[in-house]
Amino acid sequence: MIRSMHAVAALAAALLAACGGGAGNAPSETAQRANPADPAMSVVLSVLSSPAQWVSGGDARIHVRAAPGQRDKLELWLNGSRADVALKEVADGLEGVIGGLKAGDNRLEVRHRNANVRDAITLTNWPITGPMFTGPQQTPFVCTTIQGAVGRQPKVDSATPPGYRVTNAQGQVIGYSRDCSIDTFVSYFYRRHSGGGLVALPADGSRPADMGTTTLPDGRTVDFVVRREIGSINRFLYSIAMLAPLPTADTAAQDDTSRWNGKLLYWFQGGVAIGHSQGTVHGGSMNPDILGQGWAIVHSSGNNTGTHYNLNLSGETAMMTKERFIERYGVPTYTVGLGGSGGAIQQYHIARNYPGVLDGLLPVQSYPDMVTQTIHVSDCELLEHYMDATDRTNPKWHVTKNRTWLVGFNAEEGFSGVNDPLRDLKLALGYASATGSTECIPAWRGLTPLAVNPLYGQAPNAQFWDPITDILAIRWTHFDDLRNVYGVDASGAARVTIDNVGVQYGLQSLKEGKITPDEFLHLNWHVGGWKHPSEMAQETFPFFGTGAAEVQKALTIPGYFDPWSRKNMRLAASPDAPAPRTARDPLAMRAAYTSGHVFDGRLDVPAIDHRQYMERELDMHNAHQSFAVRQRTLDRMGHSHHLVIWFTDTIPNTPKASQTLEALAVMDQWLANLRANPKGGIAGNKPPMATDACFDRDGKLMHAGSGVWDGILDARPAGACTQAFPLYGTPRTVAGAPIHGAMYRCALKPVEQAVADGTYAPWTPSADQVATLKKIFPSGVCDYRQPDQARP
């Protein structure tokens, strides 16, 4: 494992100190011990673009605090030589970008012209291709940008990102670039007066007849022209977009920031991937509704969880990309994060572990993190297999809604998108099924193989890969994607966190009388667990297509039909012994915590967590996740004053309203208030709409106020929004686990203690039933009143 929790804490502390708690300004070595009232210390050197120890690409934006009468007498010296830096006067001193930094430590001094050193700072410079602190970079690593031949520079007059596909003199593909670097290029776009998305400006430089306009917050109405810069940082592609004048022959116009409102939005994208690819720049980074307000938008393919799910790498990339923005365009007034799903997770992670990068968060369709989702998602197929195959004759599982009793997630039927597409095939092969499905099927089917099976992977740009040296060398698991985090075992495979020892599936449904004691015992005897990834076989139907040929294989080849990944489960070898559970590596679990990949609830910036309520369509972004975030925040901070939760209602298969632009406007006001009144703190600067709320399907406010979500995390009567938006659980909450979901390995208690303390009440197991429970759970059952046994 590359970084311990101590390292994460040290990095976070350094970033927080370097960024002034979110202002983006790094103090110099001298300034940290200086008395501002001492005239001898009136000249202070600092770094604006990043913490001084995390400078990348050989340059940095710096600031010299100095009184007006001193400024023309100061000189900058870099590594013992006079530095020629174009500094401009700002309110409290001088500011500019210094280049020419060597790899490693650089001493930057500000001297009086009589050669006296007035202040000094050490800048530690890292390569623009990375890494800075995330450890060895992943290989193989495939570029997603294309060029014609080795050494040829990509064109800069195209809106299509150029790049590198390594070929020989005959144009045959012979490999790929290790760092995927491209030349930075600029493109211009405009919005038509009829609205819609952005389109490229005419290549001949003419003004389009249908040019649209936008009105800025200061009242100016300007052409709706967007300048976009694309380049590569940390091996990923970045994008910077903002309003700009129409381009002219004057290249200086490329840096014109006169239409920028001074505020920066960092776009984070969701998805699930196992790395090994540069990824692509997402279209959300060109959102015209946000750009039209004067915001700049920055994005990187490395901040797309559809590229990889290493959140430390995401944080490192965001630091480096924001540094590039500040060096080129200046320090933003504040930076707001925006993104859904994995894009929401990144915001919580970066705000927690890399303070100063983001000043406010707008997570959409959030989860608290990715890694703890694997805890309950890995139960989905075990339980679906039990209902479809093992207990197929039980009529309870032929009723769609009843399946919620085991999986916790909602179950629906009767409309497109939720009915099980494999139902007829299941019935033809003798398995049980229900008309509709649980969230496990449309949302999570295939996610366990993707995360855990090293043979079931994806190969972006696979036509450029060598199938022997590249493809076969990759273990396609989430854990191997993050082997720098989880560490590796003696075989060289990454350590794995998935564990279900002691988990009593269906416990709450037993207590509520929905399943009988015999059904509860049968379920937990047979449900089993997952094999170690090294023991897994390749997936079959339906993971590689559902066409006629695949269906024929499913009907004729025994075991080929396997939507549950049954072949990779640990099932009972004989009727006399229960199916073994999965016990995984405590070092991997601990690494998930110490690396910061588990969001611990610390939230030192304002956040508006907003989502569309899509429980009816069994969307994977289940609504209780916002309250998992809140519970962790309450546990960590003792309050959740910094966290606002909004829901917007939806109806399946109809257009959905979104509160994102409204949330951005509220966050803008919140941060402006905080900037104007820092002593008021985050809670004391909330604008009126920075409060819990819910909205109807048209986006109109239904209810707002501090008590609208009562009854979810407390014993109060259900609030107005709580009543309007029913929440569901997970397999682990049905088994008794807490809503926060951050428990890898439960503490265990003997079965006898569980009987005595009322764990099964109102059922009191007989002596024979206790004996069966002890066979199923020889080391004991989960005691969720105790903390996670893997947590440091």
Q: Whose CA is closest to 744, among 778, 712, 776, 792?
A: 792
The reported pLDDT for the residue numbered 472 is: 65
The reported pLDDT for the residue numbered 458 is: 63
How far apart, in whole angstroms, are the C-alpha atoms of residue 308 and residue 276?
A: 8
Q: Whose CA is closest to 651, among 615, 626, 683?
A: 615
Query: And the tokens for 596?
Result: 């910061």
Is 443 in contact with 423 (CB distance < 8 Å)? no
How far apart, in whole angstroms, are the C-alpha atoms of residue 43 and residue 30?
A: 10
**Matching residue, tokens 């819609």:** 196
Number of Cβ within a 10 Å radius of residue 785: 11
Say how many residues make up the chain. Answer: 792
How far apart, in whole angstroms, are the C-alpha atoms of residue 262 and residue 689?
A: 23
Number of Cβ within a 10 Å radius of residue 512: 11
Beta bridge partners of 169: none
Distances (CA, A) of 350 to 363, 369, 602: 12, 11, 11
Number of Cβ within a 10 Å radius of residue 783: 18
Where b means 16+ CB within 10 Å and e means fewer, 540-573 reads bbbbeeeeeebbeebeeeeeebbbbbbebbbbee
622-673 tens-digit pLDDT:
999 999 999 999 999 999 999 999 999 999 989 999 999 999 999 999 999 9
Q: Whose CA is closest to 287, among 337, 371, 361, 226?
A: 226
Query: And the tokens for 473?
Result: 């060398």
Q: Label residue 155 left, alpha or beta by phi (over 0 means left) and psi (-120 to 50 means alpha).
A: beta
How far apart, in whole angstroms, are the C-alpha atoms of residue 179 and residue 228?
A: 22
How far apart, in whole angstroms, are the C-alpha atoms of residue 410 and residue 728?
A: 6
Give 181-193 as a DSSP string: ----EEEEEEEBT
How far apart, in whole angstroms, are the C-alpha atoms of residue 349 and residue 381?
A: 28
* pTM confidence score: 0.92
Q: Give the gyration radius of the chain's Cα atoms.
A: 28
Q: Which residues of the chain have pLDDT under 70?
A: 1-41, 146-178, 250-254, 458-472
| Positive or negative torsion for Cα 290, 237, 319, 103 | negative
How far apart, in whole angstroms, are the C-alpha atoms of residue 225 and residue 58?
A: 31
Is 359 in contact with 22 (CB distance < 8 Å)? yes
Q: Which residues contact 768 (CB under 8 A, 6 or more apart)?
A: none
110-126 tens-digit pLDDT:
999 887 999 999 999 99
Q: What are the backbone angles phi and psi of residue 71, rounded to the nearest 5°?
A: -65, -35
The reported pLDDT for the residue numbered 471 is: 59
How far apart, in whole angstroms, are the C-alpha atoms of residue 3 and residue 675?
A: 34
Q: What residue spans of 571-719 are helical by DSSP H? A: 586-594, 625-637, 660-676, 681-684
The reported pLDDT for the residue numbered 19 is: 44
Give 17-35 as a DSSP string: HHTTTTT--BPPTTGGG--
The reported pLDDT for the residue numbered 469 is: 52
- What angle (nearest 5°) sits at the alpha carbon of residue 503, between those of residues 502 and 508? 135
The 3-state DSSP class for residue 650 equals coil
The reported pLDDT for the residue numbered 170 is: 46
What pairing do the DSSP bridges indicate for beta strands 213-215 and 693-695?
unpaired
The reported pLDDT for the residue numbered 209 is: 95
